[in-house]
Amino acid sequence: MPTQEQHLLLSVVAGLLLLFFHPATSKSTIEPCSNSDTCPAILGYTLYTDLKVSEVASLFQIDPISLLTLNSIDISYPDVENHILPAGLPLDVPVPCSCVDGIRKSVSTRYKTRPSDTLTLIADTVYAGLVSADQLREANSISDPSVLDVGVSLVVPLPCTCFNGTDNGLPAVYLSYVVTADDSLAGIARRYTTTVTDLMNVNAMGSGAIQAGDILAVPLPACASRFPKFASDYGLMVPNGSYAITASHCVQCSCGPGNLNLYCMPASLAVSCSSMQCKNSGLMLGNVTWKQSAAGCSVTSCTYGGFVNGSIVTTLSTSLQPRCPGPQLFPPLVAPPSFVAKHSTFAPAPAPESQGGIAATPLSSTVPSTGSLPGLVTPANGPAGSASGVSSARSITDTPNALPILLISLWLVNFVMHYSSL
């Protein structure tokens, strides 16, 4: 027969256990900032249920094309935006990282509440631990989280970092990674081809200890652009092994695998685009020609210089190089995934099915477009902003040490069990 005291004790225990297991005990890497620039950042997101590509994109208010290309998914796949992605699929989600109240975060995502939503459900399930119920409550000034109106548009503050768009002096885009129960720092480092030391430096960790729910900043090597500040795609960065579509879906830029120089060419299904030809030449964006001579190799290329006032800027440049360039290599594309690979958590690629290997164009004096990624016509979601935000301070917010709470909880559980058995 439960007495009032028993009931009270049990709620205290439940409360303490909740405190212990709640993400409130987890750490997240915070980057202080002082300017208003934004940089491109990535969220490591795991699908909580089967969702269409367009539904995932709308969950984060991003362009479906940018979601697909970042994950190296072939956008020429029929009806790709309605393709259903499976629950449990890890996806890289591109978001603009801003500076809000002196801290780097992404606040461009809004969530419309549905019946039977709770802040905990939205935080832990829908956004897969990228945000906490407390952060949702604070960001939306919710005084009583138990009464959540339906149809309310909530700001979803998401963790991101810029760190000047570099890691050890090389271009990098930062991924916010939510640690799971069976992760180790070495495993995460291996998965993202970085080192434990680098992860510890980036996240200002005193030890290699991590726990489920922690959010780590993971640097991904990327190709940086050098567009002028007034270009609408200024600051574009493309992680190694992926693509981006820019210039109102007219230009596609890829990164890797041969080198980390951004390679841009016309998007194959581009329509109503401004000229992509380099002035005073027969060369189109992405064309490279060369001539071998005794002095070396004279390489002429027509490169993309950004999207300015609705026009595609092209630059013709010639340089003398010791060797002639090989064929342009392209990152392999995958079909939109329909199932989650068994060991997907250890695989570097986000999608299990591979559609062919690295696409290399035949060796010739001109490198043509492969036309692997048609430029679908959907509204542009400008690869926001710049990669500046100079701030070297890296810190981790530490919430109260969990051990005493665990000990008290265990003691209370013990006490209650003893008490109830009397």
Residues that bind ligand NAG (CB under 6 A): 164-166, 193, 221, 230, 240-241, 256-257, 260, 265-266, 284, 286-287, 308-309, 366, 368-369, 390
- Whether the CB-CB separation of 248 and 379 falls below 8 Å is answered with no
Q: Is the sign of the CA dihedral 206, 186, 336, 339 positive or negative?
A: negative
* CB nearer to ligand NAG: pick between 57 and 97: 97
* CB nearer to ligand NAG: pick between 47 and 333: 333
* CB nearer to ligand NAG: pick between 111 and 263: 263
Question: Residue 220 forms beta bridges with which residues?
Answer: 173
CB of 69 to ligand NAG, least distance (A): 16
CB of 169 to ligand NAG, least distance (A): 7
* CB nearer to ligand NAG: pick between 166 and 355: 166
What are the tokens at 73?
Answer: 């998914």
Cα-based angle 176, 92, 23 (whole degrees, multiple of 5): 40
Phi, psi of 297 (to 5 degrees): -115, 120
CB of 195 to ligand NAG, least distance (A): 12
CB of 277 to ligand NAG, least distance (A): 9
406-410, long-range: CB < 8 A, 24+ apart: 406/20, 408/16, 409/13, 409/16, 409/17, 409/20
CB of 261 to ligand NAG, least distance (A): 11
First to last CA, the chain: 11
CB of 309 to ligand NAG, least distance (A): 4
Q: Which residue is nearest to ligand NAG (CB)?
A: 369
Q: Is the sign of the CA dihedral 335, 217, 66, 387 positive or negative?
A: negative
Burial 112-123 (b: 16+ CB within 10 A, else e): ebeeebebbebb
* CB nearer to ligand NAG: pick between 241 and 336: 241
* CB nearer to ligand NAG: pick between 135 and 287: 287
CB of 164 to ligand NAG, least distance (A): 4
Q: Please state, in angstroms and rounded to a whole number, the distance separating the CA atoms of residues 234 and 246.
A: 11
* CB nearer to ligand NAG: pick between 57 and 224: 224
What are the tokens at 161?
Answer: 């970092």
